[in-house]
Amino acid sequence: MAAPKDAFASYCAELLSANGTVRVRRMFGGHGIYVDDLFVAIVVGETLYLKADEKTLPRFEAEGCAPFTYTAKGKRQVSLGYRAAPAEAMDSPALMRPWAQLAVDAALRSR
Q: What are 45-99's pLDDT values in tens digits?
A: 999 999 999 999 999 999 999 999 988 887 888 888 999 999 999 999 999 999 9
Please tell me the CATH code under which domain 7-109 is placed.
3.30.1460.30
d(CA 71, CA 27): 16
pLDDT tens-place string over residues 44-54: 999 999 999 99
The predicted structure's pLDDT at residue 104: 98
| 95 three-state secondary structure | helix
The predicted structure's pLDDT at residue 5: 65
The predicted structure's pLDDT at residue 4: 46
The predicted structure's pLDDT at residue 3: 44
Mean pLDDT of the chain: 93
> What is the 3-class SS of 45-68, one letter each residue?
CCEEEEECCCCCHHHHHHCCCCEE
Beta bridge partners of 35: 22, 38
Q: How wide is the angle at C-alpha 72 spanned by C-alphas 76 and 84, nearest 5°?
A: 95
30 and 44 Cβ atoms separated by less than 8 Å: yes
